[in-house]
């Protein structure tokens, strides 16, 4: 809850801080990496029982930015994470959980180098339990706030995402906070 409150506060501060004349965001490939904190709630389709799990890990992604005008860009992206689970999954000898996202983000640029973004995408989840690999996918969305240097190409952003992933007998609600740093080639 506290993480979500901090994220929302940062977005509100950026929105009310005003809008300066901007130049178009740079077109080009971006590569970024960072850390992720995720949580999940799984609910059995069969008996309604549920359990929670969470974890921390690393994330790596890439995108291509298409500038539409001085304030709007579209960024198709792919992202992958690897996390160490705790809670219920750790009790089943799951030592690593992987998540992937393939999506598109729209960005609104404020004050030249600061953006807020929203995206939709296809989310996937996979993990091993006793040498049995399990994978599922579903739809999700994300919200981001970030900064991108017009001069050096450096990128920094905070992202919140949420998705529903459906297995054959369990629906999983995922949410995560990601801190990214990276570089855009112009």
Question: What domain count does the chain have?
Answer: 1
Q: Which domain holds residue 7?
A: 2-184
Q: Are 80 and 99 in contact (CB under 8 A)?
A: yes
CATH number at residue 171: 2.40.160.20
Q: Are 140 and 101 in contact (CB under 8 A)?
A: yes
pTM of the shown model: 0.82
24 contact partners, CB below 8 Å, separation of at least 6 = 67, 69, 70
State the residue for tokens 């995922």.
174
Q: What is the pLDDT of residues 37-88, one digit of tens each?
A: 999 888 888 888 888 888 899 999 999 999 999 999 999 999 999 988 877 6
Q: What is the pLDDT of residues 96-153, one digit of tens each?
A: 788 999 999 999 999 879 999 999 999 998 887 767 778 899 999 999 999 999 889 9
Residue 16 phi, psi dihedral angles, 5° rounding: -85, -5
Could you tell me how many helices (H) and strands (E) the chain has, helices first?
Answer: 1, 8
């Amino acid at each position: 809850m506290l993480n979500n409150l901090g994220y929302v506060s940062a977005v509100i501060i950026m929105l009310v801080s005003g809008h300066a004349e901007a130049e178009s965001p740079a077109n080009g490939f971006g590569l970024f990496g960072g850390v992720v904190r995720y949580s999940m709630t799984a609910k059995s389709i069969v008996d309604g029982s549920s359990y929670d799990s969470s974890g921390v890990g690393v994330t790596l992604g890439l995108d291509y930015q298409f500038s539409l005008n001085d304030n709007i860009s579209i960024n198709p992206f792919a992202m992958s994470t690897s996390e160490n689970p705790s809670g219920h999954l750790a009790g089943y000898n799951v030592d690593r959980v992987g998540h992937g996202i393939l999506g598109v983000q729209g960005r609104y640029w404020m004050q030249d180098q600061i953006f807020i973004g929203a995206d939709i995408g296809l989310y996937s989840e996979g993990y091993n339990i006793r040498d049995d690999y399990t994978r599922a996918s579903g739809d999700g969305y994300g919200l981001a706030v970030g900064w991108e240097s017009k001069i050096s190409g450096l990128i920094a952003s905070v992202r919140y995402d949420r998705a529903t992933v459906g297995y054959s007998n369990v629906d999983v609600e995922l949410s995560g906070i990601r801190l990214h740093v990276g570089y855009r080639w112009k």
